[in-house]
Amino acid sequence: MPNRAEQIFQPQFKFGLGGVPLGNEFNKHTDKEAEATLEAAWALGVRYYDVAPWYGFGLAERRFGHFLHNKNRADYVLSSKVGKLFKASKDNRHADVFPMSDSPNDLIMDYTADGVRRSIEDSLQRLGVSHLDIAYVHDLSPDFPYHPNGWEESYEIARKGAFPELTKMREEGIIRAWGVGVNTPFAILKVIEDADPDVCLCARQYSLIDHANAIEQVVPAG
């Protein structure tokens, strides 16, 4: 019997579009340009879309949601991420992280059960959809510089809070699957031992230049 990841990623969903650029991380894009990008991707047959609250402090989710919420929900796969909440503030520090996003928000790191549930609820509102196909616990690895007390403490909070809560939300049908989305393999290897993730995202770890960790550690563990 196929596992959840195999059920979600049917052949037509194996080529995707990531949301970082449309969160204005690299260049400042207008809403019109973002819409044109998404229209072109859809026309070319792209049906997997990966976003995160982190991308533009909510901007990418709003843009993807504006486009996708008018599509048949069964026709595409959508993933987002948890671990970061946002609070509107006139004295916000978005310029320190996403200076081109024009966000009104400040970042709050939160890997607790309540924080994860709120994160997904916020994402669903920004995206204008009823559920996520995949929720990744975001940046739970040593390379992310904004953990208040180090990534080990954040991981322990997630192990006790985020992981079981995501399993519960999966059972409730709010998400179809969950895992971690990281730039290094450490959290993936740990979460496989500590919980029951369905699919994990290991960014920047499988290229001609850098692939040893993916081949020698992550793939065998999965």
Catalytic residues: 55
The SS3 call for residue 181 is strand
In angstroms, the CA 122 to CA 4 distance is 24
In angstroms, the CA 60 to CA 52 distance is 7
According to DSSP, the residues that pair with 181 across neighbouring strands are 138, 201
- Name the residue among 32, 14, 88, 86 with its Cα closest to residue 55: 86
Contact present, 2 and 43 (Cβ < 8 Å): no
DSSP string, 36-81: HHHHHHHHTT--EEE--TTTTTTHHHHHHHHHHTTS-GGG-EEEEE
In angstroms, the CA 205 to CA 185 distance is 8
Q: How far apart are the first and last CA of the chain?
A: 17
